[in-house]
Amino acid sequence: MYLYINKLTIILLILSFANSVQAHHSFAVEFTAEKTITINGVVTEIWFRNPHVRYYVDIINNKNKIESWDVRTSSPSLLVRKGWTKTTIQVGDTISIIGHPGRDDRKLLSVISIKLPDGSSLGKKYPDSDE
Partner 1 sequence: MIQDKKVSKKTDLSISKKFFVRNALILLCLISSPGFAQSSIEGDWMLLLNGKKIQIDNSVVIGAPTDNKAAIIGKLSLKKFNEKWIGHVEGGPVPITINENTIEIIIDSRDLAGFSFNRRLTGSFSDSNMAGTFTIEGATEAPEPGGKWSAKRVIPEKTNLPPEPRDITGIWTPAPGVDFRKYSMDLTDKAQSWHKDYIDHYDQPNVRCVSPGIVAMVAWGAYPVEILESEKRYSFLYEVDSEVRRVFMDNRQPPEYYPTSSMGFSNGKWDGNNLIINTQLLEGNVRDFRGEPISDGAKMHEKYTLSEDGNSLHAVITLIDPENYKEPPIRRRKWVKNPNTVIYPYECDPDSFYRQMHNEDKMDMYFDRSERRQIN
Determine if 125 is a binding residue for partner 1 (CB under 8 A).
no
Q: How far is CA 93 from CA 44, 90, 103, 105, 106, in A?
A: 8, 6, 26, 25, 23
**Choice from 3, 6, 27, 46 touching partner 1 (CB under 8 A):** 27
Determine if 80 is a binding residue for partner 1 (CB under 8 A).
yes
Sequence-distant (≥ 6) Cβ neighbours of residue 15 within 8 angstroms: none
Query: What minimum distance in Å lies between the beta carbon of 118 and partner 1?
Result: 22
Phi, psi of 97 (to 5 degrees): -135, 135
Determine if 70 is a binding residue for partner 1 (CB under 8 A).
yes
- DSSP code for 30: H
Q: Which is nearer to partner 1, 1 or 29 (CB)?
A: 29
Write out the residues near partner 1 by the rule CB under 8 A. 14-15, 18-30, 33-34, 47, 49-52, 54, 70, 72, 74-82, 106, 108
